[in-house]
Structure formats: structure tokens, C-alpha cells
Amino acid sequence: MRLSRKAAGFIAAAAMFTVVAPATAAVASPRSTCYGGRVCLYAGFDYNRGQADHWRDFVQDDSDLTDNNWLNWDFSNSWHSMNNETSSVRNRVGCSATLWQHAGYTGAHSTFTHNSNDGFLSNNAIGNNRTSAIDIWCR
């Protein structure tokens, strides 16, 4: 098949788009990566992809998230309470971690093993926008 210069240009552009596509991952939040030794909570589904980057990481238990604010992508304080706002989670802390519905570790809960990711808490027992405490088993 012979291609006109224009068609070839289009195909080249399409190929370029294909190459560029992974960079669309730049839409992923700057804090969507969760580093070792932490459990990372996100206010949005899919680790805040394409959304306001309200996130926070934990290295130990916190029995009551009502006194915790989300961080912004640049680590500044969002002044926005974390209570009942977690929608996705990554666990890199080295052991399982449980998210609880109520402060003091009561109510509905879901446990996430080390190295697990869940970008959608609506289909977990803990549910979406209900987390009020985090129990990290090894800390």
C-alpha cells in the first residue's frame, strides 16, 4: 500500500500520540506513589487520578481521623478533614492494615495486606467515604 505524504504524516502523528499516551499517566496525582513503610490514603478513587490530590500517609495506628487533615500534593495542609473521606488506599507498610468505620476501631472494616492497592473502596466492607480510624498491625 502506498501512502500519501499526508497519510504518512497522520500515521506518524498517531504513533507519536501512542508514545505520548503513557505520559497521560501524568494526570495521575503526584502522590499516587506510596513509599515503603507507609500506608497511603487518598480522598479520591484511583489514588486521586485526575482529582484534587488530597492524600496522607501513615506509619503507625491512628484511632481517630477526625483530627487529621489531608495533605495537598506539595505536602502542604489542605485544612480539609480526613474523616469519612477515604476512597482509595495503598499499603506499603510491611504488614496488614485495617481501615475502620468509626474512631476507636469499631464498625465496618476492611483489611489490606502489605503491597496491596485498592483504588475503589465502594465495593469493600469499609465502603467509600467512611474511614475514621486506621490500624496498622505491625506498628
Q: Which residues bind Ca ion (CB under 5 A)?
A: 62, 64, 67-68, 84, 101, 118, 120, 123-124, 130, 132
The nearer residue to Ca ion, 94 or 107, going by C-beta atoms, is 107
DSSP state of 118: E
Work out the number of other CB atoms within 10 angstroms of the CB of residue 78. Answer: 17
The nearer residue to Ca ion, 53 or 65, going by C-beta atoms, is 65
If DSSP codes are grouped into helix, strand and coil, which group holds residue 60?
A: coil
We find the least distance from the C-beta atom of residue 102 to Ca ion, in angstroms, to be 5
Assign residue 133 a region: left if phi > 0, alpha if psi is -120 to 50, beta otherwise?
Answer: beta
We find the least distance from the C-beta atom of residue 28 to Ca ion, in angstroms, to be 18
The nearer residue to Ca ion, 92 or 100, going by C-beta atoms, is 100
We find the least distance from the C-beta atom of residue 22 to Ca ion, in angstroms, to be 24
Pairing of strands 39-42, 97-102: unpaired
Residues 6 or more apart in contact with residue 9 via CB below 8 angstroms: none
The nearer residue to Ca ion, 24 or 122, going by C-beta atoms, is 122
Strands across the sheet containing 133-136: 106-112, 97-102, 133-136
We find the least distance from the C-beta atom of residue 2 to Ca ion, in angstroms, to be 51
